[in-house]
Amino acid sequence: MTALVIIEGVIVLLLLVLVAGLLKSHAEILRELHRLGGDVGSPSSPRGVAVTGLGEVPLKAIDGLDTSGQARRVSLVHGKGETLIAFLSSGCSACLDFWSELGERPAMPTETTRPVIVTRGPENESPSSVRELAPRGVPVVMSSEAWDAFKVPMTPFFMLVDGKGSILGEGSARSWGQLLGLLDRSMQDLSDPVDVTIAPDDPSLFANPTKR
Amino acid sequence: MSKFAAQGIRIDVPDGWEAVDRTPPEAVDDGSRPAPTLHVSSVLIPEEIASFGGPVAERMTSDDTFMTLIDYGPELAGTPLFASEGLPTLDASMFHRETVLGGLEHQTACQHFFTYEGRAFCLYVILGSHIDRADLIPKVNSMIQTLELE
């Protein structure tokens, strides 16, 4: 009887260790996902989307080739409206809707937004496939250099940039409507920053930290 | 400024400007090569654009500049139309309102043919304002002086 109790106690202890290990690894996974910008566990938030909307573009202009293989430079810091950079790939199924949507002159985040499609360069992307997919009237630049500079994490990936090169929003989406919503929210967040300034007569300015 | 290279032509493009190689891709009927055509512009260059700017002029504000450079190659170099030798320096007297193709009344343009390093070129420049052309020309001249051929 005593031996049975001891064996049972050992089994319970092992199970406890196992459960604790699983909980710990699960917590680490959640922490890592959170760090990467994921939003696990929130059913109201769109999955696979990361909107940060901060900082400056790493390149003032994107140099690459157009769908005919001819050199093209698209300026991002031109002082004239916004640029919506769509990082798309010919082989990504989630990109297909965006390729066609962009050709139908969809609503843009602002009235002065110009869309630009950026794919990897011809060494990493199929120029003929890009040519078939490229919508009329939308600049397409094939540039692995830009892809690397912007550290594109996935496709499709979008970045909205103002005329001074500030990133107004970035992220991924499954549909055009979802993308517009995300960028709109990002722009609202940027235009309504948290006020962390200290007023001239703020009491904290007169506090004596040595006085207790 | 930073260098833009295409079709054996290298030119410094001011920050914030766009550049595109718009050399006709199709072979010319008589077997000659299509003339390399570069567009450089302070206004965003649309996808559908003619050799001499097409719809760009309509989008230009008074401080905008659009430039087309066409390389007609060595065959025409030194012929009467391209008799002017060396990189040109543009001045206000070379610009005329009526030279703008499909542009607006207050705009102005200049077309200049020249030979440089044994190749014949046509330079066509549209400025957003005829009245203020003297303010816009220096930037164009600075850019032209950076032209290099490979």
pLDDT tens readout for residues B45-85: 877 777 777 778 888 899 999 999 999 999 999 999 999 99
A196: in domain: no
**Pick from B28, B1, B2, B4: nearest CA to B150:** B4
Query: Domain with B140 in it: what CATH number?
Result: 3.40.1000
Q: pLDDT band at A201, cuts 50/70/90?
A: low
pLDDT of residue B133: 95
Is the Cβ–Cβ distance between B43 and B66 less than 8 Å?
A: yes
A71–B5: do the CB atoms touch at under 8 Å? yes
CB contact under 8 A, B21 and A114: no
- Shared domain for A160 and A124, answered yes or no, is yes
Interface contact flag, A75 B17, Cβ < 8 Å:
yes
Show the CA angle centred on residue A125, arms to residues A119 and A126, nearest 5°: 115
What was the ipTM of the complex prediction? 0.85
Considering chain A, what is the average pLDDT of its residues? Answer: 81
Residue of A nearest to B9 (CA): A71
Which pLDDT does position A212 carry in this prediction? 45
A198 found inside a domain: no
Q: List, for residues B93-122, the tens digit of each pLDDT value.
A: 999 998 887 777 889 999 999 999 999 999
Dihedral sign, Cα of residue A77, residue A83, residue A84, residue A87:
negative
Which CATH number covers residue A182?
3.40.30.10
Residues of B in contact with A139 (CB under 8 A): 45, 47
For residue B129, the enclosing domain spans 2-24+32-149
Q: Note the pLDDT of residue A89.
A: 96
Domain count, chain B: 1
Do A1 and A97 sit in the same domain of this protein?
A: no
Whether residue B1 contacts residue B13, with contact meaning beta carbons closer than 8 Å, is answered with: yes
Judge whether A182 and A155 are in contact, CB under 8 Å. Answer: no
Pull the structure tokens for residue A185. Answer: 């929210």
Instruction: Using the CB atoms, write b or e for B114-133: b if 16+ within 10 Å.
Output: bbbeebbbbbbbbbbbbeeb
How large is the C-alpha radius of gyration of chain B?
15
Nearest CA in chain A to B46: A137
User: What is residue B78's predicted lDDT score, i.e. its pLDDT?
Assistant: 95
Residue of B nearest to A82 (CA): B44
Q: What is the pLDDT of residue A37?
A: 40
Question: How many A/B residue pairs have CB atoms within 8 Å?
Answer: 54
Sequence letter at residue B105: E
Question: How does residue A193 score in pLDDT terms, banded at 50, 70 and 90?
Answer: low
* Average pLDDT across chain B, whole number: 90
Token pair of B54, please? Answer: 């097409």
Alpha helices by DSSP H, listed for chain B, are 56-59, 133-144
The one-letter amino acid code at A148 reads D
Query: How close is the nearest chain A Cα to the Cα of B20, in Å?
Result: 4
pLDDT band at B132; cut points 50, 70, 90: very high
* Total structural domains within chain A: 2
Give the structural domain span for A2. 1-35
The mean pLDDT value for A183-202 works out to 70
Is residue B139 a contact partner of residue B148, using CB atoms and an 8 Å limit? no
Contact (Cβ atoms closer than 8 angstroms) between residue A90 and residue A126: yes
**Is the Cβ pair B47, A137 closer than 8 Å?**
yes
Asked if A11 and A75 sit in the same domain, the reply is no
Shared domain check, A93 and A8: no
- pLDDT reading at A44 higher than 50: no
Is residue B39 scored above 90 in pLDDT? yes
Count helices and strands in chain A by DSSP H and E runs: 5, 7
pLDDT at A48 over 80: no
Distance CA B69, CA B111 (A): 10
| Helix ranges (DSSP H) in chain A | 2-35, 96-103, 127-133, 144-149, 176-191
Identify whether residues A21 and A86 lie together within a single domain.
no
Q: Are B104 and B75 in contact (CB under 8 A)?
A: no
3-state secondary structure of A80: coil
A46 DSSP 8-state letter: P
- What phi-psi label fits residue A27: left (phi over 0), alpha (psi between -120 and 50 degrees) or beta? alpha
Q: Which residues pair with A63 in a beta bridge?
A: A73
